[in-house]
Amino acid sequence: MSDITPTLPRTPKFLQSFVCFSVIVVTIAGGLFGLGISLHTLMFVCLLWVGLNAFSLGYGYLQIRELMTSSLARAMPAIYIFILIGMVISSFMHSGTIATLMYYGLSWLNPSLFLAVGMLLCAIMSVATGTSWGTVGTLGVVLIGIGSAMNIPLPLVAGMIVCGATFGDKMSPISDTTNLAAMSAGTDLYRHIYSMLFTTAPTFILTLVIFLIIGLSYGEQNLNLDEVNAIQLALANNYSLTPLITLMPLILLATLSIRKVPAEVTMSCSIVLAVLIAIFYQGTSPISVLNALWENTPEATGIQNLDALLGRGGISSMSWTLLLALMAIALGGILHGAGFLSALLAGIIARVKRTATLITTTILSGFLGNIAMGEAYISIILSCQLFKPKYQQQNLDNAILSRSVEEGSTMTTGLIPWTTAGAFYTATLGVDVLSYAPYAFFNYLNGVIAIAMAAFGIGLLKPKIKPAVT
């Protein structure tokens, strides 16, 4: 009988790891922009490529599958939240919560405060809906029209809209990028949002002050309310808009979040309350509301962009991002489990010693990832997988990693002309990226402030130490 011991898988060298990772970037960037291939298909190709590299190290099929499965298992809590996000959005649409925010928010506009109030409105809308695209496609279009009628430079108006819309895309608990960053970094959703407040709040206030100062020079302009009145009339005709009732789901969501109730419980309670309001106050058919939790449909207000926004949400609306995340997490499971990321880390950022340098490198990595791949989702996932060991080595909370990744990826995606966000904003607002980017103060100042705060040791969370069980 033979007593030969099975050969253990080898540890990858830096060169193989670098080639492996480079092929992933080239495949995604070239396939997406050069050939127009679906991102999900490209992820499958990358899975095959990384699997072959792991096989060459001595890993068998079952071992490779286990690397993917264990990585997905760790991400399951965040996957539950992804499913709930779609239902929160659709239920808030039918309860009139979003309609109420828009109706009363548009009443705040006046010439001298147009830029500052416009940014605030976009921020509120994007936090409530969890989408920068939906905010730009509805409220943003209205504000562009008003700004044009007041002879305010459109690049300035577009920059203001992008600032406000990006705030919610980064900070909202129902934003896909917010949840994706928390999930990829392995941190709690609310811990992630709490961490971002340290750098995002001062940047937002600074940007607001800048727009207040700039806006004073346009105080004598005339305010054309035709588009505003049209949207408010359409909303009033389709919803009962009593804030004390329609805003209850949002208040409940905020209250439970502040009290740190688990996200799944918080979202579920908000969904139930919103559904009850939709049925008993808005008079919507119970069947329609419940079906909308799976797949919402556009409304019929007569305003195309408004209809599209009010028709957002449902579990099915999250399927694109969720499926992409599942494939990317499986890919990361092989890259991490087989040692490719460790080998790459040792060869590229092992020399990074200072915390400020690590955070700067992470933010730049997210920005370069957006440039190379044109999509924040992949940049977020890969940056988290690449830098996570280094943050743990420096005894930094995973929420600092997720925050830094968002400041490099989420914040800059709208500043690059060939990203999906940049292309959408240009097409929707009618202003090209390079024209509005200088005025998107919030988007690029956030990274600068984050790096400065890291250099002074401000806002750097340490991992929570669990008490020993006796």
Distance CA 22, CA 361 (A): 18
In the chain, the percentage of residues whose pLDDT exceeds 90 is 29
DSSP 312-377: --SGGGGHHHHHHHHHHHHHHHHHHHTTHHHHHHHHHTTT--SHHHHHHHHHHHHHHHHHHHS-HH
What pLDDT score was predicted for residue 183? Answer: 87
Report angle CA 37, 38, 44 to the nearest 5 degrees: 100
Q: Render pLDDT for 337-349 as a digit per residue (tens, 0 to 9).
A: 888 877 776 666 7
Q: By C-alpha distance, which of 228, 278, 221, 218 is closest to 248?
A: 278
Distance CA 187, CA 398 (A): 6
Distance CA 223, CA 216 (A): 14
**Mean pLDDT within 385-414:** 89
Q: Coil, helix or strand for 89? A: helix
Residues in the chain: 470
Q: Render pLDDT for 341-377 as a digit per residue (tens, 0 to 9).
A: 777 766 667 677 788 889 998 998 888 777 766 667 7
Assess whether pLDDT exceeds 50 at residue 3: no
Distance CA 179, CA 187 (A): 10
Distance CA 331, CA 44 (A): 9
What pLDDT score was predicted for residue 242? Answer: 92
Whether the CB-CB separation of 166 and 136 falls below 8 Å is answered with no
Most confident of 12-21, 103-112, 156-165, 306-315: 156-165
DSSP 443-465: HHHHHHHHHHHHHTT-S-PPPPP
Q: By C-alpha distance, which of 375, 348, 359, 433 is closest to 39?
A: 375
Helices (H), 154-188: 154-171, 176-185
What pLDDT score was predicted for residue 263? Answer: 72
Assess whether pLDDT exceeds 50 at residue 467: no
Whether the CB-CB separation of 436 and 428 falls below 8 Å is answered with no
- Residue 431 is classified by DSSP as -
- In sequence order, which residues have a C-beta less than 8 Å from that of residue 132 and are 6 or more positions away? 126, 162, 165, 166, 168, 169, 414, 421
Q: Render pLDDT for 415-434 as a digit per residue (tens, 0 to 9).
A: 987 777 887 788 778 788 88
What pLDDT score was predicted for residue 266? Answer: 83
Assess whether pLDDT exceeds 80 at residue 109: no
What pLDDT score was predicted for residue 443? Answer: 94
Q: Quick one: pLDDT band at residue 468, thresholds 50, 70, 90? A: very low
What pLDDT score was predicted for residue 85? Answer: 75
Q: By C-alpha distance, which of 274, 232, 291, 237 is closest to 92?
A: 274
Burial class (CB within 10 angstroms; exposed 0-12, middle 13-18, buried 19+) of 50: buried
Selected residue with higher pLDDT from 7 and 237: 237
Distance CA 75, CA 187 (A): 10
Whether the CB-CB separation of 165 and 138 falls below 8 Å is answered with no
What pLDDT score was predicted for residue 224? Answer: 63
Distance CA 405, CA 387 (A): 9
Residue with tokens 């990826």: 409
Residue with tokens 């995604």: 28
**Mean pLDDT within 221-225:** 65
In the chain, the percentage of residues whose pLDDT exceeds 70 is 91
Provide long-range contacts, Cβ within 8 A and 24+ apart, for 284-287.
284/94
What pLDDT score was predicted for residue 469? Answer: 37
The 3-state DSSP composition of the chain as helix, strand, coil percent (nearest 5) reads 75, 0, 25
What pLDDT score was predicted for residue 59? Answer: 92
What pLDDT score was predicted for residue 373? Answer: 62
Mean pLDDT of the chain: 83
How many CB atoms sit inside 10 A of residue 392's CB? 14
Q: Quick one: pLDDT band at residue 209, thresholds 50, 70, 90? A: very high
What pLDDT score was predicted for residue 463? Answer: 78
Selected residue with higher pLDDT from 418 and 280: 280
Tokens, residue 422: 């940049």
Q: Render pLDDT for 26-65 as a digit per residue (tens, 0 to 9).
A: 888 788 778 888 878 988 998 999 999 999 999 998 999 9
Most confident of 14-18, 304-308, 443-447: 443-447
